[in-house]
Amino acid sequence: MNVKIIDIFWDRIYLNIIFQGKDIDKNEIFLKSKVQKIKLEIKQLEENKYSSVINITNIRDITMLKNEEYLFIAKKQDKVEEICIETDLGYKLEKLDKIYRYSDQNLAYTVTFIPEERKNKIVCTLISRFMVINDKYYKEQIKGSKNKVRRAIFILGKNCFNYIYKICSFLHFNKKNKVLLMSETRVPIYGNLKALDERIKERKLNKKFKISYSFFKTLETRKINVIFKYLKLVWILSKQELIFVDDYCPIFKFIKLSNKTKLIQLWHAGVGFKSVGYARFGFGGPYPYTSCHRRYDYAVVGGEALIPVYEEVFGISKEKILPYGLPRLDNFLDDKKISTSKEKVYLNYPILKGKKVILFAPTFRGSGQKSANYPFENIKLDLIYNLCKKENYIFAIKMHPFVRERIQIPKDYKEYIIDLSDYTDINELLYVTDILITDYSSNIYDFSLLNRPIIFYTFDLDYYQIINKVHRPIREYAPGKICMKFEEVIETIKDEDFEMDKLNKFREENFSIHEKTASDMIIDNIILKNNDDD
């Protein structure tokens, strides 16, 4: 029906919706939820432009919207479809949220707008809520028996795990010199935790400290099995003086650690564009007080310029964020390490030796680990095959670990196109890479140290920024050439138009230089210092 919303704005209690499209007055426009369907009055402003004004306190004698989520729907004869929004409006939506307080500020009515993906287009969901103050923060009224049961189970589980932890922690009153390295997303030990572990052993501190390990993938484990794993994990956690993690660890939503225990986050990503943690607050982000991110005593990041970024992400004070660098990059530019890593890669993939390598390593699409995917149809294998054959390149594909599906490479193309998604250590692959093609991934942080070209293939740039949110506008901060079409990627490689000046600026802004390695700074300033303080 070619109807879209091009603008939304408020005038006190009046919500103004501007539509664009041919013969909209021949359509019926509705605001529709699961329980309500409200026909909107449409007024023509000019050719192909119409408006609808909604009195949010009195909508066509319905009085007010219910506690529901509403979509804008167009109907023409028997055809019904959801109305999409203009790209520019997608960026504006989060600034349109309204809070109407009443009853001595104890109650509130809120109207919020969320961009959502529906059938490969962006639509606007209007969320209407009556809120009630509850102790420390506003909390949505719980409706429906299922939601009440789920909340009851969550509270019961949280209280049980926390109570069990307190008992175990009391039994393990002597936690001195006990260190745990753990992850709920990666198996086996990898990245920052692996580098720190190796340095601890190099300095023979494993003789002074008891080092323990816990690695399993919570989101890939059945819920009933997670309960038993958590019971075991609670016992292990209760013994520790220091706990190091490298990613999101939901166990810490359920327990409050002893004052004798310190929790340190060695976040796996150097810096990327994707919003995570409290940077997504209000858009599917964590709860105000129960997020595991707030539990960190310290968070180690790559450089001083990243402190404001992770202050936002973790919801902790900047004093707790330590710009020591990433342990996994301690010896990243060491000649011996580079040589050893290259030999290992060539041993596994001899086809790469003697060739120029283009590594395609994008992040996933989807809301998380369970829904992670990548739209492979956006990779034009015929174009990259012709380029590789002519220029003696190998096009190596490394999908994000969350993406389980593998790209189908035609048999005739396998001489120049290979899938390396099952290779665990992407940093080893970076050493043999001449050109990195990515999108919103944090792998740019590591690769930038090699001072080699980065191409950003962001065919869904506006869509991704609106739906997923980003820390930094990609057009402004990307350290390399941005391409919206795969044909542009090919031309960029042919012309060697990599915009390297952006890469140099990125390196200057995001890395801090220290006399010691990141691992040694963590050992000296956290592990040993904590031991001295005791």
At 340, which CATH number? 3.40.50.12580
- Statement: residue 147 has pLDDT above 80: no
- Statement: residue 71 has pLDDT above 70: yes
CA distance 39 to 17: 13
Between these two residues, 77 and 191, which has the higher pLDDT value? 191
What's the number of domains the chain is made of? 3
CA distance 271 to 481: 18
Whether 149 is in a domain gets the answer no
Lowest mean pLDDT segment, chosen from 53-67, 131-145, 196-210: 131-145
256 and 362 both lie in a single domain: no
Q: Band of the pLDDT at 424, cuts 50, 70, 90?
A: confident
Whether 147 is in a domain gets the answer no
pLDDT of residue 146: 65
Name beta bridge partners: 356: 393
89 and 171 both lie in a single domain: no
Whether 152 is in a domain gets the answer no
CA distance 71 to 68: 10
84 and 52 both lie in a single domain: yes
pLDDT of residue 141: 47
- State the average pLDDT over residues 5-17: 92
pLDDT of residue 139: 47
497 and 527 both lie in a single domain: no
Whether 408 is in a domain gets the answer yes
Q: How far, in Å, are 204, 288, 308, 321, 326 from residue 314 at the CA level?
A: 32, 11, 10, 10, 17
pLDDT of residue 277: 83
Whether 27 is in a domain gets the answer yes
Q: Band of the pLDDT at 459, cuts 50, 70, 90?
A: very high
- Statement: residue 100 has pLDDT above 90: no
- State the average pLDDT over residues 263-268: 94
61 and 83 both lie in a single domain: yes
92 and 14 both lie in a single domain: yes
**Burial class of residue 334, CB neighbours in 10 A (0-12, 13-18, 19+):** exposed
Q: Band of the pLDDT at 136, cuts 50, 70, 90?
A: very low
pLDDT above 70 covers a percentage of the chain that reads 94
- Statement: residue 368 has pLDDT above 50: yes
Q: Band of the pLDDT at 19, cuts 50, 70, 90?
A: very high
pLDDT of residue 137: 44
pLDDT of residue 26: 81
pLDDT of residue 309: 87
Per-residue pLDDT of 461-491, as tens digits, reads 998 888 877 777 889 889 999 999 999 999 9
- Statement: residue 320 has pLDDT above 70: yes
- Statement: residue 429 has pLDDT above 80: yes
168 and 278 both lie in a single domain: yes
192 and 274 both lie in a single domain: yes
pLDDT above 90 covers a percentage of the chain that reads 59
Per-residue pLDDT of 329-341, as tens digits, reads 998 999 999 999 9
80 and 224 both lie in a single domain: no
- State the average pLDDT over residues 427-445: 94
Per-residue pLDDT of 395-421, as tens digits, reads 999 999 889 899 999 999 999 999 999
Between these two residues, 131 and 387, which has the higher pLDDT value? 387
The domain of 247 spans 162-329+518-533
Residue 322: closest CA among 262, 278, 363? 262
CA angle 13, 14, 19 (to 5 degrees): 150
Whether 146 is in a domain gets the answer no
Q: What is the CATH number of the domain that holds 32?
A: 2.60.40
Between these two residues, 134 and 295, which has the higher pLDDT value? 295
339 and 311 both lie in a single domain: no
Neighbour tally for 183: CB within 10 Å: 26
- Statement: residue 145 has pLDDT above 70: no
Token pair for 330: 């301690």
**Burial class of residue 127, CB neighbours in 10 A (0-12, 13-18, 19+):** middle
CA distance 35 to 51: 24
122 and 80 both lie in a single domain: yes
Whether 154 is in a domain gets the answer no
Q: What is the CATH number of the domain that holds 524?
A: 3.40.50.11820
- Statement: residue 523 has pLDDT above 90: yes
- State the average pLDDT over residues 526-530: 89
Q: What's the whole-number average pLDDT of the chain?
A: 88
- Statement: residue 1 has pLDDT above 70: no
Whether 351 is in a domain gets the answer yes
357 and 466 both lie in a single domain: yes
